[in-house]
């Protein structure tokens, strides 16, 4: 069955960096676009970034533009999210989700905590 597994979360100081990964299985990975969506503790959902099947179309939320970089490796069935210059307000559970503009399958998330 479809599986998305996020990893790479952790505790980091403001201004620091983390690299999240989303590993996929159970479907032809190169046929699907992938998004990152985050959820701050006790809060709602916020879309973060999108990458299309070939990695040629990439989009970011304004709040992360210039600090986050999304990439994918279809040979490894994975999508990465490089997060630099992290801020306290980036603290959230980060989900990867399969879909072009709606999110039909989700991973369980990886927690990123930005705190001094």
Partner 1 sequence: EIVLTQSPATLSVSPGERATLSCRASQSVSSHLAWYQQKPGQAPRLLMHDASTRAAGLPPTFSGSGSGTDFTLTISSLQSEDFAVYYCQQYHDWPLTFGGGTKVEIK
Name the residues that contact partner 1, by CB under 8 A: 35, 44-47, 50, 59, 61-62, 95, 99, 101-104, 106-109
For the CA atoms of the chain, what is the radius of gyration? Answer: 13
Residue 98, classed as helix, strand or coil, is: strand
Residue whose CB is less far from partner 1, 46 or 74: 46
Residue whose CB is less far from partner 1, 19 or 108: 108
Kindly tell me the burial class for residue 61, based on how many C-beta atoms sit within 10 Å of its own C-beta (0-12, 13-18, 19 or more): middle
Least Å from the CB of residue 60 to partner 1: 8
């Amino acid at each position: 069955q479809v599986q998305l597994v996020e990893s790479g979360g952790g505790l980091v100081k403001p201004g620091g960096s983390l690299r999240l990964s989303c590993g996929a299985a159970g479907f032809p990975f190169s046929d699907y676009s992938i998004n990152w969506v985050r959820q701050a503790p006790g809060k709602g959902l916020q879309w973060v970034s999108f990458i299309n099947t070939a990695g040629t179309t990439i989009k970011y939320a304004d709040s992360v533009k210039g600090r986050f970089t999304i990439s994918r490796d279809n040979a490894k069935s994975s999508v990465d999210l490089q997060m630099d210059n992290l801020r306290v307000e980036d603290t959230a559970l980060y989900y990867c989700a399969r879909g072009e503009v709606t999110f039909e399958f989700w991973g369980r998330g990886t927690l990123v905590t930005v705190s001094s």
